Amino acid sequence: MTDVTIAVPTPAVDDLEVYRRELTGYCYRMLGSGSEAEDAVQETMLRAWRAADRFEGRSTVRSWLYRIATNVCTDMGRSPQRRARPMDLGPARSPDPVHLTDVLPDGRWITPVADSAVIDVDGDPADVAAQRDTIRLAFVSALQLLPAKQRAALVLCDVLRWPVSDVAELLDTTAASVNSALQRARATLATAPSVGSTTVLSDAQQRLLARYVEAFERYDMDALAALLHDDVVQTMPPYAMWLQGRDDLIAWYAGAGIGCKGSRLLAGEANGCPAFAQYRIDPEGGHIPWALQVIELRGDRIEAVHAFLDTEAFERFGFPARLP
């Protein structure tokens, strides 16, 4: 009998690009940074393209890419300090600008990601809601508590619904080892702060957000206070300072945060939540980027405002560089 050699087609660029969005979601959950996730996927694609002629077809192209992405994320995530939310790192502060001297170093804080960059937002509504839950800031922060292998196992099995046997092959380990990693990872997450469930915004919540935009743009403190829960939280990464309580937030807006007066807001979606790009007044005319606000709701009030002072993220989110 003559041996027959079966040629394995070399993956083309289009074969790789079709997985970019889901890989970005995977890398974001692994790294906790929108920009680093994009960098990780770009490095994954580059490595895959360079090695395409050596692809032997022993796994699917998708599994092959995830293996590369896992290695890239592991290499990028070797910092001894994990990314987190400000409230995970210390107690709430008073609304005193003296606390602005405490700035978190690069790589220390969770950064936001646009829903559309990591989720097929036009997919089945139930699937979209479930996926949005897994990019909520609290969940992504909790994931960073896990060692890399546990994090990969949990994201692949519990979030992306891969079979344990496939994950074991990808991680070069056994099914028993994956199950053990999952057990430890789930136990760790069980002790982390709870993550609210994502649901389609009700008509009342849509009206709440419209009132929030109107109140913020008018800088009407009474109207804004009426939209907040008593225990509302505000964070402002990269500052370590975070505030809790309606009175403290209003005191901040009316005091140290008065520079936000006259801002304009553009709507978007980030980390499974409604979000707004905030543009402050430019003394030379128009408005310039200032913060990406991720708004968490609980019932008929605002539970948290996470204002990321990261103007470089505006381009990643597709927001304009300035407003007239």
Total domains present in the chain: 2
Residues 6-14, mean pLDDT to the nearest whole number: 51
Question: Do the domain assignments include residue 35?
Answer: yes
Of 190, 214, 233, the one marking the end of a domain is 190
Q: How many residues does the chain have?
A: 324
26 and 169, same domain (yes or no): yes
Is residue 287 situated within a structural domain? yes
Does the residue 49 lie in any domain? yes
The domain that holds 284 is classified in CATH as: 3.10.450.50
Residues 138, 230, single domain; the answer is no
pLDDT in tens, 111-120: 999 999 999 9
Position 222 confidence tier, pLDDT thresholds 50, 70, 90: very high
- DSSP label at 237? T
* Same domain membership, residue 233 and residue 135: no
Output phi, psi for 213, to 5 deg.
-60, -45
**Range from 27-36, 57-66, 191-200, 297-306 carrying the lowest mean pLDDT:** 191-200
Reduced to 3 states, what is the DSSP secondary structure of residue 17?
Answer: helix
For all residues of the chain together, what is the average pLDDT?
91
| pLDDT number for residue 47 | 93
Band of pLDDT at residue 24, cut at 50, 70 and 90: very high
Confidence of residue 86 (pLDDT cuts 50, 70, 90): very high
| Mean pLDDT, residues 25-38 taken together | 96
| Residue at 203: amino acid letter | D
SS3 179: helix
Chosen domain end from 159, 190, 221: 190
Tokens of 21: 């969005």
What is the Cα gyration radius of the chain? 22
Same domain, yes or no: 52 and 122: yes
Q: Are residues 295 and 267 in the same domain?
A: yes
Q: How far apart are CA 123 and CA 291, in angstroms?
A: 29
Assess whether 183 and 207 both reside in one domain.
Answer: no
**56: confidence class by pLDDT, cuts 50, 70, 90:** low
pLDDT at 2: 43
Residue 230 domain-assigned?
yes
- The answer to whether residues 292 and 270 touch, using CB atoms and an 8 Å cutoff, is yes
Is the pLDDT score of 5 beyond 50?
A: no
Q: Is residue 255 part of a domain?
A: yes
What DSSP string runs through 102-113? Answer: -BPPTTSB----
pLDDT at position 1 over 50:
no
313 band by pLDDT with thresholds 50, 70 and 90:
very high
The model carries a pTM of: 0.92
First-to-last C-alpha distance (Å) of the chain: 76
Structural domain of 237: 203-317
Residue appearing with tokens 């403290």: 248
The type of residue at 162 is W
Q: Does one domain contain both 52 and 31? A: yes
In a domain, 208, yes or no: yes
Comparing CA positions, the residue from 86, 87, 53, 71 lying closest to residue 149 is 71
Whether residues 47 and 126 fall in one domain: yes
What's the pLDDT score for residue 81? 76
Show which of 145, 168, 190 is a domain's final residue. Answer: 190
> Of 60, 69, 29, which Cα lies nearest the Cα of 195?
29
How would residue 10 be classed by pLDDT, with cut points 50, 70 and 90?
Answer: low
Does 78 or 89 have the greater pLDDT score? 89
Q: Are residues 210 and 65 in the same domain?
A: no
Q: Tokens at residue 14, please?
A: 């289009």
Pick the closest to residue 132 from 32, 236, 271 (CA basis).
Answer: 271
**Which CATH number do you get for residue 65?**
1.20.140
User: In terms of domains, do 279 and 244 share one?
Assistant: yes
Please report whether residue 41 resides in a domain: yes
Same domain, 253 and 125: no
Runs of H (alpha helix) within the chain = 13-17, 20-31, 34-50, 61-76, 115-118, 125-133, 137-143, 148-154, 164-170, 175-190, 203-218, 221-225, 246-254, 313-317
- What digits encode the pLDDT tens for the residues 256-308? 999 999 999 999 999 999 999 999 999 999 999 999 999 999 999 999 999 99
Q: State how far the Cα of 32 lies from the Cα of 37, in Å rounded to an integer.
A: 8
- Before 238, cis peptide (omega within 30)? yes
Residue 65 binned pLDDT confidence (cut-offs 50, 70, 90): very high
Judgement on whether residues 157 and 248 belong to the same structural domain of the protein: no
Instruction: Tell me if 197 is assigned to some domain.
Output: no
